[in-house]
Structure 1
Amino acid sequence: MKSTHRIWTGMVLSLILLLAVPLGTVAAQENGGGFTEPFDDPQLPNWEHSPETIVKDGVLVIGPGNVAIRLGDFSNFTAEFKVRFTGPGLIFFRFHMRDDGDNVVIFDGQRVSLERTATGQSNELAGAEWSGFSGDWDTVKVTAQSGQYEVSVNGQVLLQTQETGEAPGGGSLGFIVDGESSAEFDDLSVAPIMVEGGGQEMAPAPAGDQPAAAATAQPSTQYGIGSLLAQLSGSQASPPEFTTFSVNLLLSVVLAFVLSRVYIYWGSALSNRRRFAANFILITITTTFIILIVRSSVALSLGLVGALSIVRFRAAIKEPEELAYLFFAIGIGIGLGDNQRLITVVAMAVVVAVIGIARLFRGRQSDFNLHLTVTSGNPDKVSLEAVTGTLRKHAAQSRLVRYDEDAKMLEVSYLVEFKNSAEFEAAKNALQALSKGIQITFLDNKGIG
């Protein structure tokens, strides 16, 4: 789990970095012509990359969950590079990266595949079984010609396919590593394949290990890495409309209020139920708000996981009942955040009914709303019987929970219930009348209604 969290966190951070690059800068860096990259410069000019992508000893090293993108407009080309990867994990070589989609060659330990991503949906164009990288330097070659693709490793052709429909336009290219180990890349060369008369008839790609001649292609007017974001958000629900957002938030307030009333009047915790229940509305609204936002994006969901990983709860949960109600408040928020109104409302009705029926069968329980501590010492030390008798006269009910007495001092604690503030005031005055030196401490439990 820790490794997966690190991988996705690195990917999300790298995407944020790439989105910050102005499109004009992209156009200035590459016009789609060929280039060779020996990775000799630690600054990686003309590349955008995440923090754990570095140049070390003349080799590009990409850590798990990290990315390196060569921005530009590469349409018809042959790309060749060396890679050393011991795995386990995946290596992605992405190309034709545009706002409306991209192509990606995926290498894993048992299979290599070519996928086309458009408008957030991925479609596999070709796939084949293979034995994986050798663990030493392997040479990978990818050729893209007007919708025709060929992928080979160490001279062995693994994939050959023709994309149906209109061939994709040019775009950026780059590497992504996913797994538990870093991958090393070296000697990247990209050679454009010229188009005769601006048409789609392609000249043959250079063969063998001969360096490809560089030529200038026509620059494109579209750049960016929107397709990478599109794949991250693929198969996700669309962002909610404002009406849906408002209705769900309002419903979360109503259900949280009902839950708080149920806890106050039917709960059995001895702590201050009224104050504790006041948190239910905020918890439910916050959960609904967060789920409504992150449900439309995997990247945001994973970012939320990373943010919550540094949060620690400091408030002590005194009783299991408190935790149960907190979980249910969060569950209401998740249900409404996912726009599952009917299920959430039905679940709420069932839970309230079950709690109500259980309360009915248990009968009336003691519903103490205050903790009372009475301390009395010599020379006017009062007796236990005097304190208990006074409480019986003025409190609706009382229960002795602690008794300490020695030759000099008496200290007793009660759970008491007062129906109103008048009863409370009368009991206080009566206790103080028992002795001038008596000390009385009231601790709020539920509050006086």
Structure 2
Amino acid sequence: MDKAFFYLGASMLDFSVLNSSFANPTWISIIYAFLLSFVLGTVLALIYVKTFRGLSYSLNFLHGLVLLPIVIAIAMQAIGDNVARGIGMIGALSLLRFRTNIKDPRDMFFIFASLAVGLASGVHAYGIAILGTACFVVALIVLQGSSFASGPQFDGLLRFNLSRSADEQRLVENVLEGQCRHFALATIREVGQGERLDFSYQIRLKPQATSAQLIEELGKVQSVRGLNFMNQESVIEV
């Protein structure tokens, strides 16, 4: 029994056993494919968390990034070089309906990366899977640290309405300049049959300022009504 475990461990460490063909894989190469899919999927999930810039991320999406390469690797191992199996797999997948709406293009690239990792591991292209994941991670780190990809980040959306007066608008802008590091006018529209104006600002608060202080200062402007501050990501749909 001890000798059997010894030979199994030795074969696991011997990378020459991975040179089996895609049509007739060995058990060791299949195990490597699944393990590599899991490890690289976990790497993608970790780098997604480290480079995420929103307020919160979905745990289900993270689990999907880890599980998707394994599922794809299983599918590729099952299909092999058999065309009939491939057609049958496509027919089976066509019965599924994925209704998850992916709004962030960045999330879509992570999904494609997980698919690619699973495909490469499933066809025993281990070097491509490892190097491709490494290049993907390095590119994300470079984009994370570069200045052109960061841009001004905003803490949330500020909405209010006030009377149609240039003096009142100037007072509001003075408050924003005192409390915010960045602010940008998102929308402006007429309300109350044109007697009042409704404003929406994307704002980035100063380190010492808080949203409560901002609301308090704006509330001191006489004609300001309907103050509403909503935390959200920098890219919004107004």
> TM-score range with shorter-chain normalisation?
0.5 to 0.7
- 2:43 is the counterpart of 1:254: yes
- What SS does structure 2 have at the residue aligned with 1:400? strand
- 2:226 is the counterpart of 1:444: no
Report the structure, 1 or 2, having the larger helix content: 2
Q: Which residue of 1 aligns with 2:186?
A: 401
**Residues 279 and 365 (structure 1), Cα distance of their counterparts in 2 relative to 1, 3 Å cut:** farther
Q: Which residue of 2 aligns with 1:428?
A: 215
How does 1:133-152 map onto structure 2 within 5 Å?
A: none
How does 1:215-226 map onto structure 2 within 5 Å?
A: none
Q: Which residue of 2 aligns with 1:137?
A: none
Cα pair 2:41 2:67 within 8 Å, conserved: no
Long gaps (5+) in structure 1 = 1-233, 266-271
Q: Which residue of 2 aligns with 1:291?
A: 72
1:415 aligned residue (199, 202, 218): 202
CA drift of 1:258 comes to: 0.8
**Residues 290 and 443 (structure 1), Cα distance of their counterparts in 2 relative to 1, 3 Å cut:** same
**Residues 288 and 321 (structure 1), Cα distance of their counterparts in 2 relative to 1, 3 Å cut:** closer
CA distance in structure 2 between the partners assigned to 1:237 and 1:273 by the alignment: 44
CA drift of 1:415 comes to: 1.9
1:47-75 residue CA offsets vs partner (Å, 9 max, x unmatched): xxxxxxxxxxxxxxxxxxxxxxxxxxxxx
CA distance in structure 2 between the partners assigned to 1:260 and 1:387 by the alignment: 37
CA drift of 1:391 comes to: 2.6
2:154 aligned residue (363, 368, 375): 368
CA drift of 1:399 comes to: 1.4
CA drift of 1:440 comes to: 0.8
Q: Which has more radius of gyration?
A: 1
CA distance in structure 2 between the partners assigned to 1:363 and 1:292 by the alignment: 33
CA distance in structure 2 between the partners assigned to 1:241 and 1:235 by the alignment: 12
CA drift of 1:304 comes to: 3.9
Long gaps (5+) in structure 2 = 1-21
Scaled by the length of structure 1, what TM-score is found?
0.38
CA distance in structure 1 between the partners assigned to 2:211 and 2:226 by the alignment: 17
CA distance in structure 1 between the partners assigned to 2:206 and 2:149 by the alignment: 19
CA distance in structure 1 between the partners assigned to 2:118 and 2:55 by the alignment: 21
**Residues 314 and 432 (structure 1), Cα distance of their counterparts in 2 relative to 1, 3 Å cut:** farther
1:337-375 residue CA offsets vs partner (Å, 9 max, x unmatched): 5454432332233234345545626275112242x1412
CA drift of 1:331 comes to: 2.4
- What SS does structure 2 have at the residue aligned with 1:383? helix
Cα pair 1:398 1:417 within 8 Å, conserved: yes
Letter paired with 1:393: G
**Residues 238 and 287 (structure 1), Cα distance of their counterparts in 2 relative to 1, 3 Å cut:** farther
Letter paired with 1:366: P
Cα pair 1:252 1:281 within 8 Å, conserved: no
CA drift of 1:309 comes to: 0.7
CA distance in structure 1 between the partners assigned to 2:212 and 2:124 by the alignment: 49
Report the structure, 1 or 2, having the larger strand content: 1
CA RMSD across the alignment: 3.9
Number of residue-to-residue matches in the alignment: 205
CA distance in structure 2 between the partners assigned to 1:237 and 1:281 by the alignment: 30
CA drift of 1:246 comes to: 4.1
Cα pair 1:248 1:339 within 8 Å, conserved: no
**Residues 387 and 357 (structure 1), Cα distance of their counterparts in 2 relative to 1, 3 Å cut:** same
CA distance in structure 2 between the partners assigned to 1:380 and 1:245 by the alignment: 66
**Residues 244 and 381 (structure 1), Cα distance of their counterparts in 2 relative to 1, 3 Å cut:** same
